[in-house]
């Protein structure tokens, strides 16, 4: 099974010329923490809530006056539509990401794939004749099961 079979097509994206306020409002509307940045239908980068918070707000800059292209991650991680699901699931686990933009071979943005997409039963590899999955084809463990959550403590 390939990524094109499990990805979400028709995604929302921002352009490098959009303001960070526009990007943040779209993130809030879509309830997501990252958006692909597209220029001429090609993946130009990714902008995250963390990018906005750390690269702009924490430095005291006004998000209304800063463009997405000034704060985005230009060398974004991505996968190709023709890649096998199990390979992309392993990449996502190795890279500690929950979502990846999906591009065609000429880097045209065509969708997004999430951990849920690659770990659902429809994305699971077929069982062999023995009824067992081979070790190499097993889906990666979801990231949220591998990280420990620490509670912040406030000194009184």
Domain ranges (residues) in the chain = 3-140
The pTM of the full predicted model, rounded to 2 decimals, is: 0.72
Give the tens place of pLDDT for each residue, 20-77: 999 999 999 999 899 999 999 999 999 999 999 988 888 888 888 999 999 999 999 9
Give the tens place of pLDDT for each residue, 66-81: 999 999 999 999 999 9
Question: Is 138:125 a contact under the CB 8 Å cutoff?
Answer: yes
Query: How many angstroms separate the CA atoms of 10 and 4, rounded?
Result: 12
Instruction: List, edge to edge, every strand of the sheet that includes 109-114.
Output: 8-9, 109-114, 99-103, 79-80
Architecture per CATH, 3-140 = Roll (3.10)
Question: Is 68:79 a contact under the CB 8 Å cutoff?
Answer: no
């Amino acid at each position: 099974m390939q990524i094109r079979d499990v990805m979400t097509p028709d995604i929302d994206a921002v352009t490098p010329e959009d303001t960070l306020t526009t990007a943040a409002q779209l993130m809030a509307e879509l309830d997501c923490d990252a958006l692909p940045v597209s220029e001429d239908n090609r993946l130009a980068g990714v902008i995250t809530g963390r990018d906005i918070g750390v690269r702009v707000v924490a430095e005291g800059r006004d998000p209304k006056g800063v463009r997405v292209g000034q704060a985005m991650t230009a060398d974004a991680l991505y996968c190709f539509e023709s890649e096998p699901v199990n390979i992309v699931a392993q990449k996502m686990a190795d890279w500690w990401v929950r979502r990846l933009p999906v591009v065609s071979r000429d880097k045209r943005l065509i969708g997004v794939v999430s951990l849920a997409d690659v770990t659902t039963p429809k994305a699971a590899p077929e069982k062999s004749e023995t009824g067992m999955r081979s070790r190499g084809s097993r889906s990666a463990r979801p990231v949220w099961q591998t990280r420990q959550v620490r509670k912040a403590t406030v000194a009184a």
